Structure 1
């Protein structure tokens, strides 16, 4: 069996949404079709791409590596299918706001593809906090935004989630918790904790901590993801962060391992935002359609 585009499409939808049932609903197919496709894909590649748990489908490390390639495959196919679509005629400037995490870990590869595919479309970027992005959308200073949709609070803003990035426990190589069959927040509470603060990460973390009897022993609060990475890798603490910002090595070249938590921890949702009820311009529709095609989100199901 050779690599099948349908298998890749189903894999990406499952990875982005975290559950076979949600992926099946989004793609309007049966759960058994997705399950069979993923099994075939794993057999073809020769590695396990997901860990199946009661909380859903969790990417293995091999799965995380393959996901990046899978997105490139889908983007290349989508580009090939739309060579003569007429979208190349879209011109002008699109003002797009983005938060720090999105701009650093999600947008760059897509901006390169968009600029190459639509040379007459100029994307003006602004890096801002969530509050400033919300205000800018409502007052029409920005056309669209790429944000952590799980953080958006303003009811005047419409959102479309493209992907859900699982949050895992980050540990230094050789940490005793890696030997456990199951690790929960109670175990994490016994460890020094490095708390990331950028993009409201600390506020999000405390929301799920506060639903338990435990609290993290915060050793350091920092807005630097690289500082968190280095401190974890050097054995100075642990943290819980999303797969999107995970890298297996610190700047010093030390290994960072991850573990899936026994308790369900909410994922980090990434997607688009715009002012509720606004009429989308051709450039805005193009921008939205591009991301919907790459992340397999049916644009017709979302109210503009």
Structure 2
């Protein structure tokens, strides 16, 4: 058994597809299939079962997957240990982040991180919660900063499910507010309830967004489904053009940009932002340093 075979096996298991795994590994699909076949022959068990759209792990495959990840993690750890990493941290990280974070908290965080660890390069993938967690599970990200679902609304939050094997640490809580255009009939209200928004059109984040799911859940709990007229990564811009109202994190709503009015929701809504990573999967020294920095920076920022 070779480490290469374990790498191939894990990629197929993460993607549930031989073709996509072969593309990711930059090898021909027949060669990948042959290596997996050799591995199954050596082990004496079938690791995958074919489905209509790809493959899934057998019971034996699921058990082998856990050991394979641990073995590759130890191999990578051994490689890192000979790089004198502690004396001069260097390497690359692939991190995922919510669109709202990229527009508010992350720029300053990345600047400060770059000053302290100039040898570590952070590559950022911006998206909503659902695709970020999917990419994390597939091994495309080292970690992800995403929306933690509020258990209060979980019965109606059907679009987002945290993948099996993904765990998280809460970082901070964001107040959610209502953003309306200047001159909107609701502009002079100090507070507003979700129930008062039955007749409004909404500008929302894209599907897969935790805030979008939380908005839908809050509206459903009041007996109506919100009319989402537009969806985009920056709802505030469309709100300012009077294309609808939007539920946003307060920091995002009050950041510099097109002029809007911000109303407090009563009862209040909030969202937790957490850092997600795969349980048992190896985190490189770079990723561990970035994870520790993110935790300290965001928590201290909220306490200031």
Please tell me whether residue 188 in structure 1 is matched to residue 197 in structure 2.
yes
Cα root mean square deviation, aligned: 2.9
Contact 1:88 1:117 in 2 (8 A): no
Cα distance in 2, alignment partners of residues 205 and 174 from structure 1: 23
Which of 182, 190, 193 is the equivalent residue of 1:173? Answer: 182
The match for 2:215 is 205
Matches within 5 A, 1:192-271: 192-197=201-206, 199-200=208-209, 201-218=211-228, 220-225=229-234, 228-247=235-254, 250-251=257-258, 255-265=259-269, 267-271=270-274
For structure 1, which runs of at least 5 residues remain unmatched after alignment? 1-85, 298-304
Residue-by-residue CA offset, 1:194-228 (whole Å, 9 max, x unaligned): 3332652433321111111234344x222141xx3
- Offset at residue 249 of structure 1 (A): 6.0
Cα distance in 2, alignment partners of residues 111 and 152 from structure 1: 28
SS class of match (1:214): coil
Q: 1:88 to 1:179 in 2, by over 3 A?
A: farther
The match for 2:121 is 122
TM (norm. structure 2) is: 0.57
Please tell me whether residue 141 in structure 1 is matched to residue 140 in structure 2.
yes
Q: Which of these two proteins has the greater Rg computed from alpha carbons?
A: 2
Cα distance in 1, alignment partners of residues 136 and 89 from structure 2: 22
- Offset at residue 193 of structure 1 (A): 3.0
Cα distance in 1, alignment partners of residues 201 and 191 from structure 2: 19
- Offset at residue 158 of structure 1 (A): 1.4
Cα distance in 2, alignment partners of residues 248 and 100 from structure 1: 14
The match for 2:8 is none
Cα distance in 1, alignment partners of residues 122 and 295 from structure 2: 18
Cα distance in 2, alignment partners of residues 88 and 116 from structure 1: 16
For structure 2, which runs of at least 5 residues remain unmatched after alignment? 1-84, 150-159
Equivalent pairs counted in the alignment come to 205
- Offset at residue 147 of structure 1 (A): 2.2
The match for 2:297 is 294
Cα distance in 2, alignment partners of residues 248 and 113 from structure 1: 20
The match for 2:104 is 105
Q: 1:139 to 1:234 in 2, by over 3 A?
A: closer
- Offset at residue 234 of structure 1 (A): 4.0
Cα distance in 2, alignment partners of residues 131 and 199 from structure 1: 5
Contact 1:93 1:121 in 2 (8 A): yes
